[in-house]
Amino acid sequence: MPQYREIRADFDRDSIVVYQAYNDAIADAAIAAGRFVSPFSFGRMTWIKPSFLWLMERSGWATKANQTRILAVRITRAAWDQALAQGVLTSYTPGVHASLDAWRTEFENAAVHVQWDPERSIHGKKLEHRAIQVGIGRALIEQYASAWIVEVTDMTSLTTKIRRLRQDGEYSKAKNHLPRERAYPVSAATALRLGLAMR
């Protein structure tokens, strides 16, 4: 049974997969270059999610405007761990932050934002446990877009296949095509910083 807050991801010894949804122009350029290049925006925060099903909910299974292309972005675990170690929760959390004012100051100066949202099932229902999304700010976005990335893969065709199986009521078959995600280990300091043990 997953913990209330737990990072679940497709990862190996050296890298981890995060997902993003874009339009054709950004996706095609990223796939061709193997990293993010123009017209990707380097001037604003970009959100990465290791939960495939959470991104499916957010993008309407690749049907929402400017979210019709699903990318699996494999980045180094070292970079991911570095981002988490700098992460600041998007809301004040007693037991994590010393005070509301302390959180506000930390949040306003953070290079990385972290938010916990209800995880989704293959049926699209909200689950009791949470999925993480990580916002990479302008201070780190150049590093994310190039240095962190190992590989960019187009997941749009697979997403379409799974979406059609769901529409046909073939949820068991659809589930078999999902990326394999498992609990991702983090340091004790990062777990405390991101409130992993808290409800």
Query: What is the reported pTM?
Result: 0.96
pLDDT score of 2: 82
pLDDT digits (tens, 9 = 90+) for 48-98: 999 999 999 999 999 999 999 999 999 999 999 999 999 999 999 998 999
Q: Do residues 31 and 154 lie in contact, with contact meaning Cβ atoms separated by under 8 Å?
A: yes
Buried b / exposed e over 122-153, threshold 16 CB at 10 Å, is beeeeeeebbbbbbbbeebbeebbeebbbebe
Give the residue extent of every domain in the chain: 8-192
pLDDT score of 192: 93
Confidence grade of residue 199 (pLDDT, cut at 50, 70, 90): low
Q: How many CB atoms lie within 10 A of CB 56?
A: 23
